[in-house]
Amino acid sequence: MFGRNNNEFTMNPFINVEHMIKDSSHIFFNLETTISEKPLPAKYKQPKTFTYQSTGEQVKVLRKIGKKKPIFVSIANNHSLDYSVKGFENTKRFLKSNGFLCNAKNKVENKNIVFMNATDHCGCDDKDLWDEHITMIDYGNLQPIYEKIKKIRKKDKKKVIVFSIHWGSNWVKGEMPLNIKEFGRGLIDSGVNVVFGHSAHHILQTPIEEYNSGLIIYGLGDFINDYSVREEYKSDHTLMCGITTNKNKNKNNLSYELTTIRRDFTEEGGSIPVIIP
């Protein structure tokens, strides 16, 4: 998230991790703000406690660092429609015009990667509005999601399927709730290779789980934003997860490496990730 209400934010928050971005073949991240290059007026704001809007300058910097490599962006979360449908459409238009890979309801494919995104909450008064434009998870009816994934997997066993999910509460004491764990495992059992979970503003007690030849990321913490720090959760710390795919016949064997990051605040505004040796 690059600031709220278009507050000042450091122009290149990626300065300390540029080498990691350049060394990667693909990038995946959750964008928790709307983007309108010409900021939308307050009349578009949804009646929520927090609404986020930025001009997207920092995202352009990321695109420049990443050059032409595929960058997948999750735009399904509880801030997707902070500035109503207009802000959401502006966000999609901006991302696609700058070469980012994103979609709200349907999958995005790029060579051997299939990317999907969803959220289990909107933090809003109009859940139907969110559900009309992004995939909302209903824990009482997960079968349609599982069936959709099974169809993709049946069509091509060699694809790497990444399912990005904004799940759970902002602050989680201990482990993730059992229903969320079961959902993550159900996604893997249905054919997903990597479940990319996010929402909690801190590193989860178990941030990542290896399960049935797949990986479930429960929560790596906040990477870039302007949120204040909650010391009891050490929310100024986060993780970057590097995943390597090792092909073995018809299966994709995955290995991963976690890099610990500290979120430092800048005079220009916002925070930047700094690698902890």
Name the burial class of residue 125, with classes exposed (0-12), middle (13-18) and buried (19+) by CB atoms within 10 angstroms of its CB: exposed
pLDDT score of 250:
56
Q: What is the pLDDT of residues 42-73, one digit of tens each?
A: 999 999 989 999 999 999 999 999 999 999 99
Ranges of the chain with pLDDT below 50? none
Domain ranges across the chain: 18-275
Q: What is the pLDDT of residues 202-241, one digit of tens each?
A: 999 999 999 999 999 999 999 999 999 999 999 999 999 9
Please state, as a whole number, how many other Cβ atoms lie within 10 Å of the Cβ of residue 140.
6
Here the tokens at position 30 are 């959750």
pLDDT score of 248:
67
Could you tell me which CATH number the domain at 18-275 has?
3.60.21
pLDDT score of 5:
80
Mean pLDDT over all residues of the chain? 95
Q: How far is CA 76 from CA 94, 194, 206, in A?
A: 15, 17, 23
Classify residue 3 as left (phi > 0), alpha (psi -120 to 50) or beta: left
Single-letter amino acid code for the residue at 206: T
pLDDT score of 253:
84
Name the burial class of residue 114, with classes exposed (0-12), middle (13-18) and buried (19+) by CB atoms within 10 angstroms of its CB: buried
3-state secondary structure 13-81: CCCCCHHHHHHCCCEEEECCCEECCCCCCHHHCCCCCCCCEECCHHHHHHHHHHCCCCEEEECCCCCCC
Model-level pTM?
0.95
CA distance 221 to 110: 27
